[in-house]
Structure 1
Amino acid sequence: MYRRNGSSELAKLMFKNSGDDEKLRQLLTDTYSEADLTTYLHSDDPLLGRAAGFALRLIGTSEVIPALVDALKNNDRGTRYNAEYALWEIWSQSGDDSVDAMLVDGKNLLKNEAYQQAVECFTTVIETNPNFAEGYNQRAIAYFMLEEWSKAIRDCKQTITLNPHHFGAFAGMGHVYVRLGKIEEAIEAYKQALIINPNLISIAEAVLQLHRQLEKK
């Protein structure tokens, strides 16, 4: 049975167990339901919203994605930040520990600039779970770094097909269109990213810059 604790209880629980994600994850699971946390996420109390967003990063599932997407437009910046962080965490969970481990391996290859190896790793992720959107998104990043533009676009589009909320894939597609000199397509992709997540300041700035380029033509 879940206890509907208020902001002070949630904040205390998280503060006392900060630094131990596994313990905190178990305590949150034992104490709060996802319904509790999504309700708190939209609280008028910004501290409660922030705490709920952080908690959902640890224990949230795909069921809370719509609430987290809504929270990207919250009045409180901290709540928006934690909601975005939670979305990335949830999007990186396939439901299969072995697939998730491969995704982490691929991300590490990206960090080490081993882009072709990263492509191969993410391809294995996709072959193992063809419905895992983040596998395509991460492979799109690897293809982008290899300047394989058409493949990057293809994977961005597949990411969006599987996860229409994926502002990262829209932004990534915009980056590719910029490299291809397709300014109008880039602006449209960037705008779609901003519709979902208005907090992407660099993307908003890129849209303004691209509009200036069009005006000069």
Structure 2
Amino acid sequence: MTSPKPIRSKIIMFLATAMLLLAYAPANADQTDPKLDKLFAALQTSLSNASASSLEREIWAIWTRYPDDQAINRQMDRAIKMMNAGRLDDAEAMFSAIISRKPAFAEAWNKRATVRFFRGDDAGSANDILQVIKLEPRHFGALSGLGMIKVREGDLQGALQAYRAAQRINPFLPNIEVIIDRLGQRLKGRAL
């Protein structure tokens, strides 16, 4: 039989290791919220635009909040207001500051990509979108944004791929079928 002392030291060692791992484990960030899986599954099987719209709002609400960090959430709110008011330089600077503090926060990358798109910085926007997709492959907003960049660049095939990917995730995106159809028609016209 083993003495209690070695067992107790093993338990203490295990608990110390577990506490260290927990201390360095990232908190559930926006895109890792377990509720998202159910929301995306429901979005795929939604029977109405109204239901899909409600699910989309829930998804965006989760994506836009960073759990357990109210300072980051206040910064996000301010940066979004700046973006909506057309203060793009200020908004980009604030989203960049958020990204430097929380590089795993996909929605901060997405919002900066949006600002960069508005500013005509397609390369910067596309780079941010790639980071968003790495962090949250289901980000239909980022994929749609990539589609817009590809259209602006004249890469209709790339745009079509991006929009189709967004549609597979969210079949209720506004006008997505029309956009895909028009891109398909334009590509057929080029092939003639």
| TM-score normalised over the length of structure 2 | 0.79
Give the C-alpha shift of residue 203 in structure 1. Answer: 2.5
Q: Is residue 63 of structure 1 aligned with residue 42 of structure 2?
A: no
The 1-side partners of 2:80 and 2:143 are apart by 19
The 2-side partners of 1:63 and 1:189 are apart by 25
Q: Give the AA of the match of 1:80.
A: A
The residue that corresponds to 1:213 in the other structure is 186
Deviations 1:131-167 (A, max 9, x none): 0000000000000000000110011111111011110
Which of the pair has more CA radius of gyration?
2
Are the aligned partners of 1:170 and 1:192 in contact in 2 as well (CA < 8 Å)? yes
Give the C-alpha shift of residue 62 in structure 1. Answer: 1.0
Q: Is residue 136 of structure 1 aligned with residue 86 of structure 2?
A: no
Q: Is residue 72 of structure 1 aligned with residue 43 of structure 2?
A: yes
> Which of residues 111, 115, 119 in structure 2 aligns to 1:146?
119
The residue that corresponds to 2:176 in the other structure is 203
The 2-side partners of 1:203 and 1:102 are apart by 32
The answer to which of 198-207 and 128-137 deviates more is 198-207
Give the C-alpha shift of residue 79 in structure 1. Answer: 2.5
Superposition map of 1:153-168 within 5 A:
153-168=126-141
Q: Give the AA of the match of 1:90.
A: I
Are the aligned partners of 1:144 and 1:152 in contact in 2 as well (CA < 8 Å)? yes
The residue that corresponds to 1:183 in the other structure is 156
The residue that corresponds to 1:81 in the other structure is 53
Give the C-alpha shift of residue 78 in structure 1. Answer: 2.9
Cα–Cα, structure 1 residues 214 and 76, in superposed 2: closer, same or farther, change >3 Å? closer
Higher relative contact order (CA 8 A, sep 6+): 2
Give the C-alpha shift of residue 100 in structure 1. Answer: 1.1
**Identity within the alignment, %:** 29
The 2-side partners of 1:188 and 1:76 are apart by 25
The 1-side partners of 2:170 and 2:143 are apart by 10
The 2-side partners of 1:192 and 1:158 are apart by 16
Deviations 1:147-196 (A, max 9, x none): 00011001111111101111000000110111111100000000110000
4+ aligned runs moved over 4 Å, structure 1: none
Any stretches of 5+ residues in structure 1 without a counterpart?
Answer: 1-60
Q: Give the AA of the match of 2:54.
A: N
The residue that corresponds to 1:126 in the other structure is 99
Give the C-alpha shift of residue 64 in structure 1. Answer: 0.7
Give the C-alpha shift of residue 76 in structure 1. Answer: 3.7
The 2-side partners of 1:202 and 1:159 are apart by 23
CA RMSD of aligned residues (A): 1.2
